[in-house]
Amino acid sequence: MTVRPYDVLFEQALTRVDPERIHHAAFRAIRAAAPVTTRAVRVPSAPVHALGLTFPHPLGLAAGFDKNAVGIDGLAALGFGHVEIGTVTGEGQPGNPQPRLFRLTDDRAIVNRMGFNNDGAEVVARRLAAWRAGGGSTILGVNIGKTKVVPEDEAARDYEKSAGLLAPFADYLVVNVSSPNTPGLRDLQAVEKLEPILTAVRRRADEARPDHRVPLLVKIAPDLSDDDVLAVADLALATGLDGVIATNTTISRDGLASPVSRVEQVGAGGLSGRPLTLRSEDVVRLLRNRVGPGLALVGVGGITTVDDARRRLAAGADLLQGYTAFVYEGPLWPRRIVRGLATDG
């Protein structure tokens, strides 16, 4: 097995530093390197037509890495064909107390309880306006969530506010009702609660972009039962959604290789990475079998290798996203996946 320089750096140095500090330092380096990485030789790839858009290839960066839209171009220059920012909430908020980001290296997994820390929709909208005015052209998804202090019965209003501010700059919008780190948020995945939110966001996005229909997707959790996954699929068809992102992080800790003591020490939060691979793949397959070919599906969760990516596409995903593998595998990871998928053509 080949040992890459990044593997040595990760094991010998990065694992010794608080993950959130490393994230911020790495992200600063990515932004600083953008002028160089942008000029890197492009990896051959096959375009993907989905959501009424033409993506350069299937692989994008999942929401959570760039919460505040500060490094879109630098991330795209590493090889991601699209970048999803956020989660952005109607009001800015600091998120949960630190520490709130943890590694389970034995499982190549991450646990986070960040709590939607972000600058808020108004600030991010101004940032995106400047980015677009400066020529920003990366395919951009904007992931929106509920502000923590907003009561559940006012959730639609909060999502609506974000949609109105951010739709003018988004290539697609995502309603996130599946993070485990905002109290009560996952309850909004129930069809009777989700439908009015999606309806309100659709209406407000159309008002904000009367000349262009911004595709709207919903992001769901892997912890939904199969019946609930199918109910969301039916709702997506009934309400005219453009797609579903499957899946977010899990609250399950079943089958982990990490010592029980370490898992208990880390505590609550959403788990991402390799442990999600099989369930996320199953959810994509369930969705595709239910919705047919017309709805776009984005597969995310536990995609680490080219074979993982191939299987997710075979299960029915049109597009793919990664996050945790990017952390564990390093900045060359997206190009490796894209190059591997290109050989399948």
User: How many CB atoms sit inside 10 A of residue 157's CB?
Assistant: 15
Annotated binding residue 248: yes
For the question of residue 162 being annotated catalytic, the response is no
Annotated binding residue 66: yes
Residue 182: cis peptide before it, omega within 30 degrees of 0:
no
Annotated binding residue 249: yes
Annotated binding residue 176: yes
- Give the SS3 label for residue 60: strand
Q: At what angle do helices 121-133 and 155-166 cross, to 10 degrees?
A: 20
Active site residue: 45, 179, 258, 280, which one?
A: 179
Annotated binding residue 65: yes
How far is residue 122's CA from residue 60's CA, in Å, rounded to a whole number?
25
Annotated binding residue 112: yes
Annotated binding residue 147: no
Annotated binding residue 102: no
Annotated binding residue 96: no
User: How many CB atoms sit inside 10 A of residue 213's CB?
Assistant: 14
Annotated binding residue 10: no
Annotated binding residue 87: yes
Considering only CA atoms, which of 53, 59, 97, 93 is closest in space to residue 76? 59
Give the H or E element holding residue 89: strand 82-89
Annotated binding residue 80: no
Which whole-number Å values give the CA distances from 94 to 62, 67, 88, 111, 116, in the listed order? 21, 12, 12, 18, 8
Torsion of CA 293, 297, 302, 305, to 10 degrees: 60
Annotated binding residue 305: no
How far is residue 240's CA from residue 230's CA, in Å, rounded to a whole number?
15
- Residue 51: left (phi > 0), alpha (psi -120 to 50), or beta? left
Annotated binding residue 181: yes
Annotated binding residue 324: yes
DSSP 8-state code for residue 110: E
Q: Detail the residues annotated as belonging to a binding site for substrate.
A: 67, 112-116, 176, 181, 248-249
Q: Detail the residues annotated as belonging to a binding site for FMN.
A: 63-67, 87, 143, 176, 219, 247, 273, 302, 323-324
Catalytic residues: 179
Q: Detail the residues annotated as belonging to a binding site.
A: 63-67, 87, 112-116, 143, 176, 181, 219, 247-249, 273, 302, 323-324
